[in-house]
Amino acid sequence: MPKTSHKGSDFDCVTCIMRKHSDWRVLATDEVDLLARGQTRYSYQSGESIYSMGQVGNGVHCMCAGTVAIRRLDAEGNSVLLHLAYPGDTLGYESVLTGEPHRCSAEALGPAKVCHIDARTVKQLLDANPNLGLQFLRRTAASLDAAQDKLVHHATLSNRAKLAHLLLVLMDRYGRETVDGANTMHLPVSRRDLASMIGARHETVSRIISRLENEGIAFFSGRSVRVPHIDALLEEIRPQLVG
């Protein structure tokens, strides 16, 4: 099923609610008009690719709705899920800035609405408003910080602790608290992806999940998760000595 597109007047950045929560909030009124003219809105179905590793980007992607997986493949074809992107995030600007091919692929994990902004428009805006570049810089620095935190976790935590941490992070975004104080959520990713996010085999994740269920810490059914006492997951994150 191909993605659907809506050009120009059909949708307008001027009225976009997400824009105020994104890097584009630094733009002046006339610059937003320029942004709106250079933009095309796309709707993606679950599993559809927004861009692929190796391609040269011809623009940036601004998320309005849904969840997008940022993956990188190694030489053996392993896919590692590096990051989940959400509304307000801008994707793929590295390639536009450097002219180099994308180093990651971006794939919709469910119905998603993503606006594509023409490379020429992006460059015009960066030229017109230096704050946009500084905003991108702040955002990229935050991503780098997050990536370094993940590196520290990979170096110091066990797979069980990393999975517990990941569940807490996902619960923060997807979770709902029920009347009895338990937390529940619907996982946005498969267990294979959960495994690649923490750098473990999927069988290992499966086994850790079994143990968490036996110990009454978390209960899984398909992609829905129920955690009776969220503190029990927090207890799992105990770093070990490294070095």
Partner DNA sequence: CGGGGGTTTGAGTCCGTTCAAAATACGTGG
Partner DNA sequence: CCACGTATTTTGAACGGACTCAAACCCCCG
CA distances from 60 to 24, 52, 91, 165 (A): 12, 13, 6, 31
Contact (CB, 8 A) for 83 and 71: no
Q: Which is nearer to its own copies, 10 or 76 (CB)?
A: 76
Q: Residue 224 interacts with DNA (CB under 7 A)?
A: no
Q: Which residue has the tokens 């600007």?
A: 93
For helices 130-156 and 159-174, give the axis angle rounded to 10 degrees. 140
**If binding is defined by CB under 7 A, does position 79 make contact with DNA?**
no
d(CA 197, CA 166): 8
Q: CA-CA distance, 160 to 113, in Å (whole number)? A: 34
Nearer of residues 36 and 200 to its own copies, judged by Cβ: 200
Q: Is 130 in the site for DNA (CB under 7 A)?
A: no
Half-sphere exposure at residue 220, Cβ-oriented, CA atoms within 13 angstroms: 17
Q: What are phi and psi of 152, to 5 degrees?
A: -65, -40
Answer with the entry of DNA, its own copies, none that 34 interacts with (C-beta below 5 to 8 A by kind): none
Residues at the site binding its own copies, with contacts judged by CB under 8 A = 72, 74-76, 78-80, 82, 93-94, 97-98, 103-104, 126-127, 130, 133-134, 136-138, 140-141, 143-145, 147-152, 154-156, 192-193, 195-196, 199-202, 239-243
DSSP, collapsed to helix, strand or coil, labels residue 148 as helix
With CB under 5 to 8 Å by kind, the binding choice for 210 among DNA, its own copies, none is DNA
Please, which residue, 67 or 135, has the CB nearer to its own copies? 135
Residue 206 contact, options DNA, its own copies, none, Cβ 5-8 Å cut-off depending on partner type: DNA
Residue 242 Cβ vs DNA, minimum distance, rounded to whole Å? 7
* Interface positions with DNA (CB under 7 A): 158-160, 190-192, 199-210, 220, 222-223, 240-242
